[in-house]
């Protein structure tokens, strides 16, 4: 549906959000068009350690004066270092609902806006429903939009976000003839990997995504706590070994991330539990060796073997 010249301008905060009693879905109506909103993401999750980056992200969003605008930071770091987790933690800590948008190489501009969808209402009846993206939803309700893996998105998709990311703070949806101004509470952050496999962002987009907040590896004690909150059911000895392993490997220049650690701890813990369940004993250290071999590779387990040799020789 093209409404061409009769483009409607609205601001997120002016729109009334209605909740459908049976489905609990949220809707807004703009000029007779009912638009279904996305659902916020709810994670039972606690951010550990690195207060500096958390505060930098919150500071870049901070507005204390009437009419002051937040910035649109980008979080950059290795895959699995905690970028998405940090965006979510920052959003939650300022009491805003968090919405994710997963950027991919084939994200089309409309995927970021409002998409018409044909839904079947009965056996031989169907209607068009308009579905707001998570970006649009966050702009309407005044939430955080975490644009994940933004570096994978092509320029065409980014172009539709350009006016949103400067002082104009609006987005245009041609398909519903709408110019939507973001709610004052709307906050935006893009997460990006620093690997070379991704598209380089065009300069006019890069220049809008500031500040650049780099996320590095946690230290040994933070890492141990990250493992614990993410793996509450895993044998604590396994978690100690995994934290030791990550510390030693990183000193040797290997970039294993908290996510790698979580997978290793999870699998090693399951190996130990499974053997115990079947009346057998498996040493937690040996379980971590196996887990490293099967998650990172045989050679990578040498760091863990060294830890065990040293421990057993002592």
Ligand X SMILES: Nc1ncnc2c1ncn2[C@@H]1O[C@H](COP(=O)(O)OP(=O)(O)OP(=O)(O)O)[C@@H](O)[C@H]1O
Binding site for Mg ion (CB under 5 A): 84
Q: Rule CB under 6 A: which of 109-138 touch ligand X?
A: none
Residue 286 C-beta-side C-alpha neighbours within 13 Å:
7
Please identify, using beta-carbon distances, which residue of 102 and 306 lies nearer to ligand X: 102
Distance, CA of 285 to CA of 50 (rounded, Å): 28
Distance from C-alpha of 28 to C-alpha of 33, rounded to nearest angstrom: 8
The dihedral built from the CA positions of residue 103, 104, 109 and 113, taken in this order, carries a sign that is: negative
The residue (of 77 and 285) whose beta carbon lies closer to ligand X is 77
Q: Of residues 251-280, which lie at the interface with ligand X (CB under 6 A)?
A: 258-259, 262
Residues 46-65 that bind ligand X (CB under 6 A): 47-50
For ligand X, which is the closer residue by CB, 265 or 284? 265
Q: Which is nearer to ligand X, 146 or 182 (CB)?
A: 146
- 193 contacts ligand X (rule: CB under 6 A): yes
For 5, the 3-state DSSP assignment is: coil
**Structure-block tokens of residue 189:** 């952050």
Instruction: Give the x-and-dash track for 221-240 against ligand X (CB under 6 A).
Output: -----x--xx----------
- What span, in angstroms and rounded, lies between the C-alpha atoms of 194 and 159? 21
Residues linked to residue 173 through DSSP beta bridges, in sequence order = 178
Contact 73, 135 (CB under 8 A): no
Nearer to ligand X, 211 or 214 (CB): 214
Residues 113/160, Cβ–Cβ less than 8 Å: yes
Q: CB under 5 to 8 A by kind: which of Mg ion, ligand X, none does 73 bind?
A: none
Decide the pairing of beta strands 26-30 and 170-173.
unpaired
Judged by beta carbon distances under 5 to 8 A according to partner kind, the member of Mg ion, ligand X, none in contact with residue 109 is: none
The backbone region for 248, taken as left when phi is positive above 0, alpha when psi lies in -120 to 50, beta otherwise, is: alpha
Instruction: Decide whether 84 or 115 has the Cβ nearer to ligand X.
Output: 84
Site for ligand X in 77-106 (CB under 6 A): 77, 79-85
Which one of Mg ion, ligand X, none is in contact with 193 (Cβ closer than 5 to 8 A by kind)?
A: ligand X
Q: Which residues here bind ligand X, judged by CB under 6 A? A: 47-50, 77, 79-85, 149, 191, 193, 226, 229-230, 258-259, 262
């Amino acid at each position: 549906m093209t409404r061409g010249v009769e483009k409607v301008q609205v601001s997120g905060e002016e729109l009334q959000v209605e909740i459908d009693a049976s489905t609990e879905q949220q809707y807004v109506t703009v000029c007779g068009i009912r638009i279904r909103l996305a659902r916020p993401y709810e994670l039972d999750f606690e951010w550990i350690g690195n207060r500096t980056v958390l505060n930098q992200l919150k500071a870049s969003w901070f507005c204390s004066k009437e009419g002051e605008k937040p910035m649109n930071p980008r979080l950059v770091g290795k895959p699995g270092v905690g970028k998405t987790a940090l965006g979510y933690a920052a959003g939650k800590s300022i009491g805003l609902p968090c919405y994710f948008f997963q950027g991919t190489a084939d994200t089309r501009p409309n995927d970021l806006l409002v998409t018409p969808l044909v839904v079947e209402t009965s056996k031989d009846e169907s209607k068009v429903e308009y579905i707001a993206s998570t970006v649009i939803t966050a702009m309407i309700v005044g939430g955080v939009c975490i644009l994940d893996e933004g570096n994978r998105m092509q320029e065409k998709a980014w172009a539709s976000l350009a006016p949103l990311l400067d002082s104009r703070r609006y987005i245009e949806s041609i398909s519903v003839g709408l110019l939507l101004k973001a709610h004052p509470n709307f906050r935006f952050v893009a997460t990006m990997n620093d690997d070379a496999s991704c598209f380089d962002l065009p300069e006019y987009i890069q220049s809008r995504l500031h500040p650049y907040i780099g996320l590095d590896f946690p230290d040994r004690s933070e890492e141990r706590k990250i493992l614990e909150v993410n793996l509450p059911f895993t044998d604590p000895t396994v978690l100690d070994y995994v934290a030791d392993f990550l510390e030693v490997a990183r000193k040797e220049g290997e970039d294993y991330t908290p996510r790698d650690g979580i997978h290793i701890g999870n699998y090693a813990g399951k190996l130990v539990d499974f053997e115990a369940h079947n009346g057998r004993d498996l040493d937690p250290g040996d379980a971590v060796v196996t887990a490293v071999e099967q998650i990172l590779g045989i050679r990578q387990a040498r760091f863990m073997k060294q830890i065990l040799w040293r421990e057993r020789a002592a």
